[in-house]
């Protein structure tokens, strides 16, 4: 597909649709749950650390309190990473941000997407024979997840079009 393709020739309506297709992908239920749990556990564990008895034979020391705070911070970090799952889309490719790794792909590298058979999230089939999980589009989001999977499939088809059949 060339840069002066059908979108430029057919006016701003087509440009608006194309722009809407390129909005980043983010989970809904998982993101909301992660953020609520992050704040809740931080409040509870900080409260526990502050209210731990420090007197008597079973008293806790400052190091015990610090340990509880560090556990809360580690859990909050993991939940924050889960809330940051996304797929950013451009005209040249996409960037998949999962829990640990982020991977940039050019459109020709994406051969197909799969979101069936009870898979928890979308999987991309790549040109090199590898697969890549896309945790930002989740089965837990129900209909929204299905719609987002179709939108990603539309983007893959849109960006793999050529001027002639291969």
- Ordered by start, the domain boundaries in the chain are 6-26+85-159, 31-82
Q: Which two structure tokens, joined as six digits, stand for 118?
A: 């009870």
Q: If 0-12 CB within 10 Å is exposed, 13-18 middle and 19+ buried, where does residue 52 land?
A: middle
Q: What b/e string do you get for 136-157 counting C-beta neighbours within 10 Å, with b at 16 or more?
A: bbbbebeeebeebbebbbebbe
pLDDT < 50 stretches in the chain: 1-10
pLDDT, position 14: 72
pLDDT, position 96: 97
Instruction: Starting at the earlier edge strand, list the strands of the sheet with 121-126.
Output: 110-114, 121-126, 131-138
Rounded to whole angstroms, how far apart are CA atoms 125 and 108? 11
pLDDT, position 163: 56
pLDDT, position 19: 79
pLDDT, position 162: 57
pLDDT, position 26: 95
What count of other Cβ atoms lies within 10 Å of the Cβ of residue 13? 9
What count of other Cβ atoms lies within 10 Å of the Cβ of residue 162? 8
pTM: 0.76
Instruction: Say if domain 6-26+85-159 classifies as CATH 2.30.29.
Output: yes
Contact between 112 and 70 under an 8 Å Cβ cutoff? The reply is no
Half-sphere exposure of 57 toward its Cβ, with a 13 Å CA cutoff?
0
DSSP category for residue 117: T
Q: What is the DSSP string of 121-146?
A: EEEEEETTS-EEEEEEEEGGGTHHHH
Rounded to whole angstroms, how far apart are CA atoms 40 and 18? 39
Closest CA to 22 of 92, 121, 84, 127: 92
């Amino acid at each position: 597909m060339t840069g002066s393709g059908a979108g430029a020739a057919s006016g701003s309506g087509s440009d608006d649709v194309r722009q809407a297709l390129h909005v980043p992908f983010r989970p809904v239920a998982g993101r909301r749950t992660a953020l609520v749990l992050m704040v809740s556990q931080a409040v509870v564990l900080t409260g526990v650390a502050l209210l731990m008895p420090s007197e008597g034979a079973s008293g806790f020391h400052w190091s015990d309190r610090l340990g509880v705070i560090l556990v809360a911070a580690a859990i909050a970090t993991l939940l924050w990473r889960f809330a940051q799952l996304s797929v950013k889309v451009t005209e040249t490719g996409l960037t998949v941000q999962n829990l640990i790794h982020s991977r940039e792909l050019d459109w020709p590298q994406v051969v197909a997407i799969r979101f069936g058979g009870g898979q928890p999230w979308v999987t991309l089939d790549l040109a090199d024979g590898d697969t890549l999980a896309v945790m930002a589009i989740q089965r837990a989001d129900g209909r929204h997840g299905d719609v987002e999977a179709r939108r990603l499939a539309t983007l893959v088809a849109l960006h793999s079009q050529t001027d002639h059949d291969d």
